[in-house]
Amino acid sequence: MSTISLIIKREYLTRVKKKSFIIMTLLGPILMASLFIVPVLMAKYDSDDISKIQVIDESGLFQNKLQDSESMAFVMDTISLPVAKTIFNPEKYTAILYIPSNVLHNTRSIMLFSSKQANLNMVTSIEGTIQKEIETMKLKANGINQETLDQIKTKVQVNTRKLTEAGEEESNAGLTTAVGMIGGLLIYMFIFLYGAQVMRGVIEEKTSRIVEVIISSVRPFQLMMGKIIGIALVGLTQFLLWIVLTIAISSLVTSIFIDPNQMKEQMAHRQTPLGTPLPEGVEDGATQMESGGVSDLMKSMESINFPLLIGAFLFYFLGGYLLYGALFAAIGAAVDGESDTQQFMLPITIPLILSFVVAQSILQNPESSVGFWFSMIPFTSPVVMMVRIPFGVAPWELALSMAFLVLGFIATTWLAGRIYRTGILMYGKKVSWRELGKWLFYKE
Give the integer Cα–Cα distance in Å for 76 and 254.
39
Question: Residue 425 sits in which domain range?
Answer: 3-33+172-274+291-439
pLDDT at res. 400: 93
First-to-last C-alpha distance (Å) of the chain: 26
Residue 160 placed within a domain = no
Residue 213 placed within a domain = yes
Give the integer Cα–Cα distance in Å for 338 and 202.
10
**pLDDT digit string (tens) for 47-85?**
556 778 888 888 887 777 777 777 778 888 888 888 888
Instruction: Answer yes or no: do 61 and 20 share one domain.
Output: no
- How far is residue 423 CA from its own chain's centroid? 39
Low-confidence stretches of the chain (pLDDT < 50) are: 168, 263, 265-294
Reduced to 3 states (helix: H, G, I; strand: E, B; else coil), residue 442 is: coil
pLDDT at res. 169: 52
Instruction: Answer yes or no: do 254 and 345 share one domain.
Output: yes
Residue type, 25: T
Residue 280 placed within a domain = no
- The domain that contains 73 carries what CATH number? 3.40.190.10
Beta carbons within 8 Å of 64's beta carbon, 6+ residues apart: none
Domain count, the chain: 2
Q: Look up the pTM and report it.
A: 0.62
- How far is residue 98 CA from its own chain's centroid? 42
Q: Give which of 182, 158, 162 is closest to 171, Cα–Cα.
A: 162
Instruction: Answer yes or no: do 61 and 118 share one domain.
Output: yes
What is the β-pairing status of strands 95-99 and 72-77?
unpaired
pLDDT at res. 301: 58
pLDDT at res. 286: 41
Instruction: Answer yes or no: do 194 and 317 share one domain.
Output: yes
